[in-house]
Amino acid sequence: MMKTGVSKRWASGMAIAALLLAAASGLSGCATRSSLLRTIPEHRRRNPEKMELLVTGYCPCGKCTGWRRNWLLIPVYTSGPLIGQRKRVGMTSSGTLAQPGTIAADTRLFPYGTVMYVPGYGYGRVEDTGGKIVGRHIDVFFRRHSQAEAWGRRKEMVTVWRPD
């Protein structure tokens, strides 16, 4: 009798833990296809483009995003057009918080809000730019530098949904 009661309580505890975990992963922004495509107009949603792009990986570290801390430990850009200016660590050029699914692209080619599916990476959205990200080259976000390095440089057939 006792045992059943305990295991029941344990089971409901686990169910709550699972729910919390699901909520937390939703907040951390694991981008899903349907949530991303909601912002894409119907005619684009039905007719995505497919193109081969060079795909590299990046993380929020200074090595990947061109900033370093100065002697006051304030992060500043060390290269590019914003050289010497303060860097908001983890923020994208569009002002959103970088997270898995954040893609940096040449916004003359792929405007902010473009949704992409990258084989081996998943769904993401263009929310960032990079000094070296020009033309048919995108940079996909990873939380850790080791993950970005492990991704390396790949040519992938990317599915592209434009926001216009």
104: contact with Zn ion by CB under 5 A: no
Phi, psi at 23, each rounded to 5°: -65, -40
Q: Enter the DSSP assignment of 86.
A: B
Nearest distance from residue 148's CB to Zn ion, in Å? 5
66: contact with Zn ion by CB under 5 A: no
Nearer CB in complex with Zn ion: 91/109: 91
116: contact with Zn ion by CB under 5 A: no
| Whole-angstrom distance, CA of residue 79 vs CA of residue 82 | 7
Nearer CB in complex with Zn ion: 145/162: 145
62: contact with Zn ion by CB under 5 A: no
| CB contact at 8 A, 97 and 73 | no
CA distances from 39 to 91, 95, 111, 125 (A): 21, 18, 13, 10
What character string, x for contact with Zn ion (CB under 5 A) and - otherwise, covers 121-160?
Answer: ------------------------x---------------
Nearer CB in complex with Zn ion: 12/79: 79
> How is 1-33 classified by DSSP, letter by letter?
-HHHHHHHHHHHHHHHHHHHHHHHHHHTT---H
61: contact with Zn ion by CB under 5 A: yes
Give contact residues for Zn ion (rule: CB under 5 A): 59, 61, 63-64, 145
